[in-house]
Structure formats: structure tokens, C-alpha cells
Structure 1
Amino acid sequence: MMGRARHPSRRDWPANLYAHRDGFKYRHPITRKEHSMGKDKAKAFAAAKKLNALLMPGNDLVGKVLTPGETVADAIKVFRTDDIPGRKWAPKTAEVYESVIRRIEAGLGGTAVADVTVKACATFIREVTESERARQQFRLVLGWILACAVEEGWIDTNPALSTRKFSHSRKRERLSIDVYRAIWDQAPQWVRNAMDLSLLTLLRREDVVSARFADVRDGALWVVPSKTEGSTNVRLQIAATGPLGELLARCRDSVVSPYLIHRLPEKARPSNMRAKDRDHHTQVLPEQLSRAFATARDAAGIEADNPPTFHEIRSLGGALLKEAGWTNEQIQALMGHSNVAMTEHYLGGHEAPWQAVSTGISLPK
């Protein structure tokens, strides 16, 4: 049944918009429920036209205009091409984020960006993993991807930014100096050298095994941390004096190697059969160091639900420097962090040092 014909004075009015004592009202074309549209004629007309385009059945042409076809996969393509190169991620970081991007592409890639709502983002993030830490990572990367869609003009707002921020606490046990010593006692010499090098310099595992004798010159150990190379461009010149100087001398043993941390392989292999990341038969790969550390930790009888890994030596070293009187900013410089907040995160979880104080108050007599 057709509705009543419009009054001649209202023939140019949008369908479903009517005069009202308080201005204008809009009648939902399906539910027939009426909604006030205020007194501003121009705004009421614009709102009515937009509502009709969205709500009136069979309005396929409008739908094609509103959803031109750009998908999340298209936004990911833009992100990979235009955004990622400028981030200058280290190889390991790039590998982690690429895994997240591929899972987002598998879950939402075929969805039009115009149809990605806050609820769609929240549902995906909750269902893709049960880990609070991983959920926060997916939220972050999805936000980056949809930001590209906003910048391309495909959508007006980024729905991922309106989703819940997930918080997580560190589950891995912090490494105490007593546990460090117990593991050190059970470790082979090359692992001891690696542990001491990380403790004294606060270098990451990857930088510990990459350090070469050629990097020791002019009384210092020169290091460009792999995680910051090309991004924050941190370059460290660590004075090779005191305990560090003694350690570097100890690393020069009977094994001929270009690397400070080295070991003879248990079984010699031809160069064409070596791991692709190994350029010398004495080179230690990061995962080898982690496994050897875990073996020594188990031999030391360290029991915990989430036992400390080699990475925790870096945190322990920072805590020892803090106890020795270093400021957070000084420790930040050695750790190569771009901000002090990250340094404070590393220092968290260790027992605070006792502060020697005296009181100047006298008890009343």
C-alpha cells in the first residue's frame, strides 16, 4: 500500500520526514517508529536522506557507494607497502609482527573496512587468542592497519582504537643474584662467559652472541644493538675496564674464533651443511645459548612455574646497577632503550635496596 501523496509544498522533502510541533520527525520505514530530528531544516533533511539510504529496502545503488569494496586485506597491503618500511623493525621483531598480520588477514581480510565495527574488532581480538599479552598485540597491530584505511579515506574513524586495552603482568620469574650464581656454577665456560657479558653490559642475547673480538678497540667494546639498529640508532661504546676488561681477556682462549662467545661444535660439518645464520663453525646461535642456559638452570635445581630465562640476566644487571647508585637514565643509556619507562619496566620485580637513613628527631623526656 502506497502512502499518502505529499502536499505540494513538501514535494521536495525526503521520504519519511514530516513536520512536527517541535520541528521535524523521521518515521522509520520498517518499524514505523518516529524520532525527533530537531528544528534545523537543513540538518533534518540531510539526516533523513542518509537514513533513507541506509534503511530503505532495495537501495542497492546506495549500498555500492557506501561500500566501495576496500577490504581489510587492502588495508594490510597499504600497511605493508607504505607503513612497515618506515618502522625499520629488527628481523626478529618483523617476524613476530608478520605472524600477527597474517592471522588478522586470515580472520578479517575479506571483510570490507566499512563493515569493521568496534564489536567486530573486539570479537576478533578476544577469539583469536586467550593470552592477555597477545590480545594487546593484536589490538595494536589491527589499529595500525585500520589507521591506513582512515588515511586512505576509506573510513572516517578507527574502530580498533575504541576496543578494550588488555593489561598483563609478567609471569616469568625474576633472576636473583643467588640463582644466577647457582646456574653459573653448573654452566660450561662459554655459557659462563655469555652470562657475565650480559650481566656487565646489559646486552640482549642476540647481541651477546654477535659480539666479535674486532669490536673491542680503543679501550672499549663498540656495539650497535640489533633491536635498535635503523630505528633509534643507539650506538654503545662500553668502557672495557675492570671486570669487563678481565672478562674480555678470559674470552681469548685456545679456540680460534672471531666471536667473543664461541664453542667448538660437537660434530664438525662442511660449510655447505651449516645453519644458514652461521658464518663460522665456532659461532653460537641465540637459541643455542638459551637451551644451554636452561640446561644449566635445570642442573642447578631451579624450580618455578615460569623459571627465569637468559633474558632475565639483563634485568638483574640493571637492578645491580640501580643498587650501586646508577640513575634510571644512566641505566636506560646502557640498555639502549628509547624511553625511561621501558627501563623502569625491566627494573620492576626486584627487591628494592635498603636505604641508609638517620632520624633527627629526639623523643620527648
Structure 2
Amino acid sequence: MVSEFLKRQTDFQAEKHRSQLIDIWKYFVANGWAADNIAEKTLKPIRPEKNRTRHSNESVEAIKAICPPWLKLAIDLAMHSIQRRADLVVMERSSINIKDNTMTVLQHKSLNYDKPVFIEVDMHPELRDVVLECIEHAMKLRCPFLIATRPERITEHNRNVKLHAFAVTEDHLTKQFKKYRDLSGAYDHLEPNQRPSLHDLRALGIYNITQKYGKKYAQALAGHATVKMTDHYLEGHEAPKPEKISYR
């Protein structure tokens, strides 16, 4: 039954579910409720390698040209803040200190770490500009979040799943980006599964910031514990220019 269940999943889902089932059966065995960890006896799914290309600045500009204003701001914020989707949609106006020119983020992905990643960094000029635009837009909607939009209609379901009536969920942001990416025709030469995603904006942003402000600043802004992770995001772009670090 476990094996048949895993076969019905995608490779990515099966890998996650199998890992969780193994942990569940470990608990069963430890309590004497099962003799063997049957989940471990299933075949380990082989997740295919990602075959996705990188974004280019020209293609991102083509996407932004046809986007609604709120999504254009979200793309710019993603590019210049180089934060993950989960952090972008919950970034509040209160996390920005205009006077000190700083942005503060407690990165969602790190909450289960022994030492969660809490960053407070100086905003580079492009980031400051887009943050100010986001604040102005959000204040018009009286929304505390930097990424905000007025939905066509507000349902009870939306109220239950959203942090604010005009806030944007991770899923909605991803789907809207994908929609306008494909409408723009910027990646028509690629198969759908090869087209870069919303998350891939992070890699382009890290590359751009490394080129202009240095790898150390890009590493700090991204919240990477090691430069090796920053280098991982730089793969696929041109070789970076000699490092130039910008200090406040």
C-alpha cells in the first residue's frame, strides 16, 4: 500500500512523503507497534535533475512590461532584495528603517534551524527605491505588507488563508509570475519545464548585486551562511568581475 501510494506521486512528492513515512514507522517500531520499518523497504524515488535555464535582465524587463503594477513591484523587490518567496510575501513596512536605511528579515526557511537566520542589512540604492515604491503602494491600500494588491473579490476563504485582505499568498505570486512570464513570450523558445521560475529571480538578483556591490554584500543580503551557497546561485551566469565591496 505504501509503495502504491508513492507511485501515484510526482518524484518530488514521493521523495518527501517517503522520508516522512520512514520517520513515522520508526516511531511505530520504537513503540512495538510494528516489527519492521516497511517504508524503508520501498524504492527510493530518483528525482530528475532540474533542466531550467537562468533568467536574463532583458527577459525580466519584457515580463515586467506587461505586468500589473503590484506584480512589477513584487518582481523588483524579489530581484533587489534577493529574498525567497516565503519571505517576500510577509515582508512588512515595519521591517524597513528608512532613516537608518536598513531592511530586517527573519528568513522563514531557517526557522527550524538551531540558529535561525536573522538579517539586518543596509539597503543598496536600487533596493531602497523599490522599497519606497512598495511602501507608497501598500499605504494606499492600508496594508502592512510590502507586496499588496486589491483582489477582484474578497471571499471568506481568502480571509481565512491570507494575513490581510490585500496581502498576496505565495501560491498566487508564483502563479501570476508564471502567467505573465508566458504571456510575455520571453521564453517561448524553451519548453515549459525549462523556463525559469519566480525563485530563479533570486539567482539573477544575486548575480547583479555581486557585479555591482560585491559578493560579500550579496552573501549577507541573501542570508547565506557560506560563500559556497552564494556561488551555487551564481552558476549559469557569466563569470563575475573582480570583487568590489561597497561599504556604507
Q: TM-score range by the shorter chain?
A: 0.7 to 0.9
State, as a whole percentage, how many aligned pairs show the same letter.
24
Q: 1:150 to 1:281 in 2, by over 3 A?
A: closer
Q: Distance in 2 between matches of 1:127 and 1:249?
A: 47
Question: Shift of the alpha carbon at 1:286?
Answer: 1.8
Question: Shift of the alpha carbon at 1:202?
Answer: 1.1
Query: Cα RMSD (Å) of the superposition?
Result: 3.6
Partner of 1:284: 168
Partner of 2:234: 347
TM-score, normalised relative to structure 2: 0.74
Q: 1:337 to 1:276 in 2, by over 3 A?
A: farther
Question: Shift of the alpha carbon at 1:285?
Answer: 1.8
Q: Distance in 2 between matches of 1:276 and 1:312?
A: 29
Letter in 1 for 2:96: V
Q: Distance in 1 between matches of 2:199 and 2:111?
A: 19
Partner of 2:207: 319
1:135-146 equivalences under 5 Å are 135-138=14-17, 140-145=19-24
**Unaligned regions of 5+ residues in structure 1, if any?**
1-106, 109-123, 357-365
Q: Distance in 2 between matches of 1:227 and 1:172?
A: 22
- Is 1:259 the counterpart of 2:145? The answer is yes
Q: Deviations over 1:256-300 (max 9, x none)?
A: 322211122223x47x56431224332122222222212221221
Local SS of the residue matching 2:142: coil
The correspondence for 1:249, drawn from 113, 132, 135, is 132
Local SS of the residue matching 1:309: coil
Q: Deviations over 1:79-101 (max 9, x none)?
A: xxxxxxxxxxxxxxxxxxxxxxx
Larger CA Rg, structure 1 vs 2 = 1
Q: 1:341 to 1:166 in 2, by over 3 A?
A: farther
Letter in 2 for 1:353: A
Q: Distance in 2 between matches of 1:221 and 1:355?
A: 26
Letter in 1 for 2:238: A
1:106-255 equivalences under 5 Å are 107-108=1-2, 124=3, 128=7, 131-138=10-17, 140-145=19-24, 148=27, 160=40, 166=46, 168-217=48-97, 218-231=100-113, 232-251=115-134, 252-253=136-137, 254-255=140-141
Q: 1:215 to 1:190 in 2, by over 3 A?
A: same
Q: 1:242 to 1:265 in 2, by over 3 A?
A: same
**Unaligned regions of 5+ residues in structure 2, if any?**
243-248
Question: Shift of the alpha carbon at 1:324?
Answer: 4.4
Letter in 2 for 1:184: K
Question: Shift of the alpha carbon at 1:191?
Answer: 0.8
- Is 1:300 the counterpart of 2:192? The answer is no
Q: 1:246 to 1:162 in 2, by over 3 A?
A: same
Q: Distance in 1 between matches of 2:182 and 2:126?
A: 27
Q: Deviations over 1:148-203 (max 9, x none)?
A: 56766887999949976835311333222221111111111111111111111111
Instruction: Identify which range, 153-162 or 284-293, moves more after superposition.
Output: 153-162
TM-score, normalised relative to structure 1: 0.53
Q: 1:241 to 1:355 in 2, by over 3 A?
A: closer
The one of the two structures with greater contact order (alpha-carbon pairs below 8 A, sep at least 6) is 2
- Is 1:309 the counterpart of 2:197? The answer is yes
Question: Shift of the alpha carbon at 1:238?
Answer: 2.7
Q: Contact 2:11–2:45 at 8 Å: present in 1 too?
A: no
1:73-88 equivalences under 5 Å are none
How many aligned positions are there?
A: 231
